[in-house]
Structure 1
Amino acid sequence: MMRLERLRADHADALLEFERENRAYFARSVPDRGDAYFAGFASRHRALLAEQDAGLCHFHVLVDERGDLAGRVNLVDVEEGAAELGYRIGERAAGRGVATAAVEDMCRLAATEYGLSVLIAVTTLDNPASRTVLARNGFTVVENIGIDGRPGVRLRRRLGPLRPDRT
């Protein structure tokens, strides 16, 4: 059983290893973070925790039954009841419904724990898996956009009571 945990200082080493291990995998569908991201990871991690403490973002890691990181799911740019959803699921957990379940859990947390009413997400058109995860979780396309020179879409989901078929 996978579970979301709010990002903490003691997640730093495991999160850095997760990002390194999945760097090439992620780069196939999203822009690479670049070498500077990895070189300055410790300071970046501390900065993320400060943003979280200020209520600007809500960062989470997805942990599997063994306690290993399987992904991350974040809410950024929290403002006026809305936030942008972002997520990365590692290659070992891909294709098993993990992303769909993690996004569903985050939508629930966003509404119940963080008091949000709207989530926004963006993805490239050449990432059909991400578009499927978002569609399964009630996100709908609101705008065509460019993401680092690639065609993409912005999606939106209003949060509220869960649909009867989603428990």
Structure 2
Amino acid sequence: MYSRKDERIRHGKDLTFTLLTPEDAFELLAFETAERAWFEQHIEARKEQFYSSHGVSQHIIDCLAMNAQGRMSPVLIRHKGVLIGRANLRDIDGENAEIGYRLAADVCGQGIAHKALKHMMKEARCVYGLDTLTAVVSVENQASRRVLEKAGFSVVDKLTQHSEVGGEQLDCLVYRCALRQEVECA
């Protein structure tokens, strides 16, 4: 199997963004299990039942049902075919949506989050016709905050003790971006 640790991702080349499918269940379970400790340092933990073949399969079914209703866009991020992250538009309501992403620990700091965010912003504007995106990130998550700010997001609210990470209640910031100003459809 390809080892990401052997090669840094240069300039985001060989990245693909694809809609989650039922065929991704095994690979997604392996990815989420391998990265679980990393994710749980930064974002709320998934429920234990998620980490099983049935749990991931049900998650995919739920995501794709919402996608069919135009309420979610669940995307997998791959480098040279290897799953390295996820990005989602969720709670799509015709004008607005919430955006989120998660990347494998060993690909962070290589510009992948920025590329994923820009890809999803373009999809939000050009495919879904959305006007604004919001993102919620803990105050402590400096890396994600920088990615959002670099992409044109601004803080619009603070949520006290909004998220539980590692047994600790964390304050979060709500970021918003007006897509008309930041995204051109070509």
When normalised by structure 2's length, the TM-score is 0.83
| Aligned partners of 2:152 and 2:182 also within 8 Å | no
1:95 to 87, 109, 112: 109
The corresponding residue for 1:155 is 175
List aligned pairs for 1:38-117, cutoff 5 A.
Answer: 38-39=51-52, 40-65=55-80, 67-117=81-131
When normalised by structure 1's length, the TM-score is 0.92
Q: How big is the shift at 1:34?
A: 3.0
Q: Does 1:132 align with 2:146?
A: yes
SS at match of 1:78: coil
Partners of 1:115 and 1:13 lie apart in 2 by 32
Runs (5+) with no aligned partner, structure 2: 1-13
The corresponding residue for 1:22 is 35
The corresponding residue for 1:121 is 135
Count of equivalent residues: 163
Measured on the aligned residues, the alpha-carbon RMSD in Å equals 1.5
SS at match of 1:104: helix
Over the matched positions of the two proteins, sequence identity in percent amounts to 31
Amino acid at match of 1:73: A
SS at match of 2:180: coil
Amino acid at match of 1:102: A
| Aligned partners of 2:121 and 2:183 also within 8 Å | no
1:37 to 50, 69, 83: 50
Deviation string, structure 1 residues 88-142 (Cα, Å, up to 9, x no partner): 0111211111101110111111111111111000000111011011111111000
Amino acid at match of 1:157: C
Residues 106/84 of structure 1: CA separation in 2 closer, same or farther (3 Å cut): same
The corresponding residue for 2:26 is 13
Q: How big is the shift at 1:3?
A: 1.8
Runs (5+) with no aligned partner, structure 1: none
Partners of 1:139 and 1:34 lie apart in 2 by 29
Amino acid at match of 2:40: A
Larger radius of gyration: 2
Runs (4+) off by over 6 Å: none
The corresponding residue for 2:6 is none
